[in-house]
Structure 1
């Protein structure tokens, strides 16, 4: 599988909507598409329009697997980029993770 960054701009009205989508995303990936997609992490951002967006890190078999997973979940999945390499200057600061389940 290859590593991808998926941009989901202004996809949710609030954190509650995001949490529901995250639970659905994890379930579908784990139960229906375990050999095609694997959610690694997401960076949640406040968009200029007041909505919530994300930059998600996924492993995926191919671009179509990303699109199909997004379609099954019912969230945006057309803006994504294959990762060429990773440069880590510092590890992410520690904070309480939000469970996807």
Structure 2
């Protein structure tokens, strides 16, 4: 599997909507072992008050990511294959919203 960044701009009105989407994503991912693996997401605060995400996934292909997103009713604005990873510092501790 390859590593991909998935950009989902302003996909949800509220953090609760995003939590519901995360549950659907997890359930659909469990149905696609070997094709899609969710690694982590960063939640973005969009200028219009909505929330979006930048997601890191491992997947067999961009098409597998799109199938997963469709089944979980998730937006996909862009999928970019990761060429390499450079870790300067670990991710900071999560801050409660």
**Residues of 2 paired with 1:44 and 1:38: CA distance?**
18
**Does the residue aligned with 1:88 lie in a helix, a strand or coil?**
coil
Output the CA distance in 2 between the equivalents of 1:96 and 1:47. 17
State the Cα deviation string for residues 27-62 of structure 1 (Å, max 9, x = none).
Answer: 1101x1111000000000100111000000000000
Name the counterpart of 2:7. 7
Supply the distance in 2 between the matched residues of 1:68 and 1:53 (Cα, whole angstroms).
19
Q: Which deviates more from structure 2 when the two are superposed, residues 15-24 or residues 68-77? A: 68-77
- 2:84 matched residue in structure 1: 85
State the match for 2:34 in structure 1: 35
Residues 8-87 of structure 1: pairs in structure 2 closer than 5 A: 8-30=8-30, 32-87=31-86
- Cα distance change of structure 1 residues 78 and 48 upon mapping to structure 2, 3 Å threshold: closer
Structure 2, unaligned runs of 5 or more: none
> Residue 17 of structure 2 aligns to a residue in which SS?
helix
**Cα RMSD after superposing both structures:** 1.3
TM-score (normalizing by structure 2): 0.94
Shift of 1:78: 4.4
Write out per-residue CA displacement over residues 45-94 of structure 1, whole angstroms, 9 at most, x where no aligned residue.
10011100000000000011011000001111241100000111100112
* 1:67 and 1:78 in contact (8 A); partners too: no
